[in-house]
């Protein structure tokens, strides 16, 4: 078949050579042509004409639907064969069907035949076009339908999730009797001098809060020199208002109710845990859940309880490990957990998974859901069964294998609050959880034997077990242990009450020395007891003070148990040093070198400064009837939670623990 592109040329030639128009093909040689030559020429011409006719008929109609027609050969033959009604000509065969069995080619036939053929071809084209269009419409319809279906399905799923959330948010938590709340309105120390000190601490709190309120509201923390928000990876770099939640109970205890209401309003309107943020399970538990629970118990405002319960649910996926030992971090949205990259052999950290008990017991108590209690009980039972080198708990435990990582042991960083929570689990249970008490006592015995030593000049310190030997170094974090020993003295075995109170006093003294031996009268991050060096930091990167509370915490516990005025004196020294060296116009900042008279600032106002440091100072200058220790247990972030009197009956009465 000729190419459609050649058609016009052929047609023109045809016209030129037609007999009715005897225009010479070779004008210069006309006279010279002989008859035989003419005959041959005629033959060629007639063959050519036949060819051109054929071309005209067989070429597709290029004037319309060119794109469609190009594919016609492919679809036409099967379509004609299948689609044409059988017996159309009475014989069950099509008159136009060529010898090759179908198709539209015409081999011979007159004008009428060709016309019919063209008509039929056109009809076929129309049918195909119609079919095609119908198919297209159907496909579009199907697509539209499935799109709508998908949309509808997504909407249904969204509605379900929203309803679930609403149900959970609006879920009526069971009414459980709130433990008798003693000592939340008082605290006047009586004498004017102490009252003045108490007032000064309150003023410091106003300064810290006011600047956070002004420059970093809703951010996790404040950068007091830059005067803007600050956050770290423990909060997944999200804006969860950590300082607000951490500071609430301190504001309440100090009677700063306008500020408290301000914080409460922010929490009501803005605190949302459905964020794509990977947070530290431990930090979120002690600061947020602890902070919200304490705010609830102090103020009775339901919103805090609801928020604590919502957040707790978000932490639960972190326990999905082969052993039930939680991951260090969890993504609040996806629930995916993992451990810190720096931790030994993929391990979870003792002080992190071991510092959930207090809050989780209270969560089960308030929500009526036993799951929280079960999770922390499981951790404890697992630890109880494990072999302990020298009776000590290593800092690292692999949550996949259930095996210890490196055999490092510390009562400071990475270990500290695990021991604290064994004691406090016993206290919060109104001293009925004897299993926890036993574990605490055994651990203290091993710690005394292997980690506690006296320096050359008689300073008692708690070292760290590393690489098979005792490192004679103590961290600022370890200083909390003085308070813990004092708190645990009552109830210790073999009438060792006096011994542990004494041990608490010795640790308080050592930690005070670590403050007193600096230029700023603020303690370094870590200090050594090597050779002639005692209670002093040697390495530059251990000389900083970041507004930590542990030393003041121990002063407060020691004050409560002994009423020795030196603790108030030491506390006042620390408060003055903080006010002098850490206070800046935009809040309070950590300092990088406590041995320098003009230290650089770190430009961070830690949320625990408001939650703990200022709270312990305030309590130190208050009377003992403000949050008495017979009724309240402070979590490791200084958030007070009430003792659950007769916890066994209370818990089993309100919660199905089986």
Residue 424 near ligand DMJ by CB under 6 A: no
Residue 245 near ligand DMJ by CB under 6 A: no
When binding is defined by CB under 6 A, the residue of 238, 637, 654, 655 that contacts ligand DMJ is: 637
What are the tokens at 591?
Answer: 């300092």
What are the tokens at 611?
Answer: 């939650």
525: annotated active-site residue: yes
Minimum distance, C-beta of residue 553 to ligand DMJ, in the bound complex (Å): 8
629's CB contacts (< 8 A; 6+ apart) are 487, 560
- Which residues between 521 and 580 bind ligand DMJ (CB under 6 A)? 548-549
274's CB contacts (< 8 A; 6+ apart) are 165, 332, 333
Distances (CA, A) of 336 to 66, 94, 317, 535, 612: 57, 70, 7, 42, 31
Residue 417 near ligand DMJ by CB under 6 A: yes
Q: Which is nearer to ligand DMJ, 80 or 447 (CB)?
A: 447
Distance CA 121, CA 86 (A): 17
Distance CA 65, CA 503 (A): 99
Decide if 438 contacts 378 (C-beta within 8 A): no
Q: Which is nearer to ligand DMJ, 125 or 615 (CB)?
A: 615
Minimum distance, C-beta of residue 578 to ligand DMJ, in the bound complex (Å): 14
Q: Which is nearer to ligand DMJ, 48 or 601 (CB)?
A: 601
When binding is defined by CB under 6 A, the residue of 409, 460, 589, 636 that contacts ligand DMJ is: 636
Neighbouring C-alpha atoms within 13 Å toward the C-beta of 442: 15
Q: Which is nearer to ligand DMJ, 213 or 287 (CB)?
A: 287
Sheet order of strands, 329-331 included: 278-280, 329-331, 337-338
504 C-beta neighbours (distance < 10 Å), count: 24
Label residue 435 exposed, middle or buried (CB < 10 Å: 0-12, 13-18, 19+): middle
Minimum distance, C-beta of residue 622 to ligand DMJ, in the bound complex (Å): 20
Residue 605 near ligand DMJ by CB under 6 A: no
Residue 243 near ligand DMJ by CB under 6 A: no
Residue 478 near ligand DMJ by CB under 6 A: no
Residue 285 near ligand DMJ by CB under 6 A: no
Q: At what angle do helices 416-428 and 480-489 cross, to 10 degrees?
A: 30
Q: Which is nearer to ligand DMJ, 96 or 618 (CB)?
A: 618
Minimum distance, C-beta of residue 429 to ligand DMJ, in the bound complex (Å): 21
Distances (CA, A) of 264 to 270, 288, 292: 10, 13, 10
Minimum distance, C-beta of residue 421 to ligand DMJ, in the bound complex (Å): 10
Decide if 209 contacts 610 (C-beta within 8 A): yes
**Active-site residue identified among 278, 352, 359, 525:** 525
Residue 582 near ligand DMJ by CB under 6 A: no
> Is 569 in a helix, a strand, or coil?
helix
Minimum distance, C-beta of residue 371 to ligand DMJ, in the bound complex (Å): 24
Q: Which is nearer to ligand DMJ, 492 or 636 (CB)?
A: 636
Distance CA 523, CA 595 (A): 9
Residue 419 near ligand DMJ by CB under 6 A: no
Residue 464 near ligand DMJ by CB under 6 A: no
Minimum distance, C-beta of residue 209 to ligand DMJ, in the bound complex (Å): 18
Residue closest to ligand DMJ (Cβ): 636
What are the tokens at 117?
Answer: 């053929």
> Is 171 in a helix, a strand, or coil?
coil
Residue 477 near ligand DMJ by CB under 6 A: yes
Distance CA 312, CA 306 (A): 10
Minimum distance, C-beta of residue 161 to ligand DMJ, in the bound complex (Å): 34
Q: Which is nearer to ligand DMJ, 552 or 651 (CB)?
A: 552
Q: Classify residue 125 as left (phi > 0), alpha (psi -120 to 50) or beta.
A: alpha
Minimum distance, C-beta of residue 288 to ligand DMJ, in the bound complex (Å): 12
Q: Which is nearer to ligand DMJ, 465 or 545 (CB)?
A: 545
Q: Which is nearer to ligand DMJ, 243 or 306 (CB)?
A: 243
293's CB contacts (< 8 A; 6+ apart) are 304, 305, 308, 359, 362, 363, 366, 639, 641
Q: List residues with catalytic annotation.
A: 525
Residues that bind ligand DMJ (CB under 6 A): 417, 477, 548-549, 608, 612, 636-637
């Amino acid at each position: 078949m000729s190419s459609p592109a050649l058609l016009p040329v052929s047609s023109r030639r045809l016209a030129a050579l037609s007999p009715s128009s005897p225009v010479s093909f070779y004008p210069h040689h006309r006279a010279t042509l002989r008859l035989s030559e003419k005959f041959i020429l005629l033959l060629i011409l007639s063959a050519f004409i036949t060819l051109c006719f054929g071309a005209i008929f067989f070429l597709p109609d290029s004037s319309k639907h060119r794109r469609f027609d190009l594919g016609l050969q492919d679809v036409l033959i099967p379509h004609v064969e299948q689609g044409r009604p059988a017996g159309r000509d009475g014989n069950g065969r099509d008159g136009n069907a060529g010898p090759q069995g179908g198709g539209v080619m015409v081999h011979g036939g007159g004008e009428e035949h060709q016309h019919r053929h063209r008509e039929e071809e056109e009809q076929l084209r129309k049918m195909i076009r119609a079919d095609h269009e119908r198919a297209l419409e159907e496909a579009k319809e199907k697509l539209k339908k499935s799109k709508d279906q998908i949309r509808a399905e997504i909407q249904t799923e969204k509605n379900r999730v929203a309803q679930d959330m609403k149900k959970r948010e609006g879920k009526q938590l069971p009414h459980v009797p709130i433990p008798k709340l003693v000592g939340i309105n008082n605290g006047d120390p009586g004498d004017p001098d102490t009252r003045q000190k108490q007032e000064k601490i309150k003023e410091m709190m106003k300064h810290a809060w006011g600047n956070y309120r002004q420059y970093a509201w809703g951010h996790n923390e404040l950068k007091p020199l830059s005067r803007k928000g600050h956050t770290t990876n423990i909060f997944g770099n999200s804006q969860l208002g950590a300082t607000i939640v951490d500071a609430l109970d301190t504001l309440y205890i100090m009677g700063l109710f306008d500020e408290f209401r301000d914080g409460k309003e922010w929490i009501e309107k803005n605190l949302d845990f459905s964020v794509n943020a990977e947070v530290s399970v431990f930090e979120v538990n002690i600061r947020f859940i602890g902070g919200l629970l304490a705010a609830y118990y102090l103020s009775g405002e339901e919103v805090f309880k609801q928020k604590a319960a919502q957040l707790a649910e978000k932490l639960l996926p972190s326990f999905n490990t082969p052993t039930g030992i939680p991951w260090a971090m969890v993504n609040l949205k996806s629930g995916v957990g993992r451990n810190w990259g720096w931790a030994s052999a993929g391990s979870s950290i003792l002080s992190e998974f071991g510092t959930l008990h207090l809050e989780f017991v209270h969560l089960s108590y308030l929500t009526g859901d036993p799951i929280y209690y079960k999770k922390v009980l499981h951790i404890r039972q697992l630890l109880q069964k494990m072999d302990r080198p020298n009776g000590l708990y290593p800092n690292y435990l692999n949550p996949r294998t259930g095996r210890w990582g490196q055999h490092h042991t510390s009562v400071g960083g990475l270990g500290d609050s695990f021991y604290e929570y064994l004691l406090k689990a016993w206290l919060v249970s109104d001293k009925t959880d004897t299993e926890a008490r036993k574990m605490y006592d055994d651990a203290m015995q091993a710690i005394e034997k292997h980690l506690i030593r006296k320096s050359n000049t008689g300073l008692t310190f708690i070292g760290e077990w590393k690489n098979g030997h005792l490192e004679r170094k103590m961290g600022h974090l370890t200083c909390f242990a003085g308070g813990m020993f004092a708190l645990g003295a009552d109830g210790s075995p073999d009438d060792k009450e006096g011994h542990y109170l004494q041990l608490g006093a010795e640790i308080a003294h050592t930690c005070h020395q670590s403050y007193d031996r600096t230029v700023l009268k603020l303690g370094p991050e870590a200090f050594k007891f090597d050779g002639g060096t005692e209670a002093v930091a040697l390495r530059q990167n251990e000389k900083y003070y970041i507004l930590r509370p542990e030393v003041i915490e121990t002063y407060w516990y020691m004050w409560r148990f002994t009423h020795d005025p030196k603790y108030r004196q030491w506390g006042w020294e620390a408060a003055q040093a903080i006010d002098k060296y850490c206070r800046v116009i935009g809040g309070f900042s950590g300092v990088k070198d406590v041995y320098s008279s003009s230290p650089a600032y770190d430009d961070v106002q830690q949320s625990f400064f408001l939650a703990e440091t200022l709270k312990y100072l305030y309590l130190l200058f208050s009377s003992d009837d403000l949050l008495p220790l017979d009724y309240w247990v402070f979590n490791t972030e200084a958030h007070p939670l009430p003792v659950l009197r007769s916890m066994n009956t209370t818990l089993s009465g309100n919660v199905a623990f089986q």
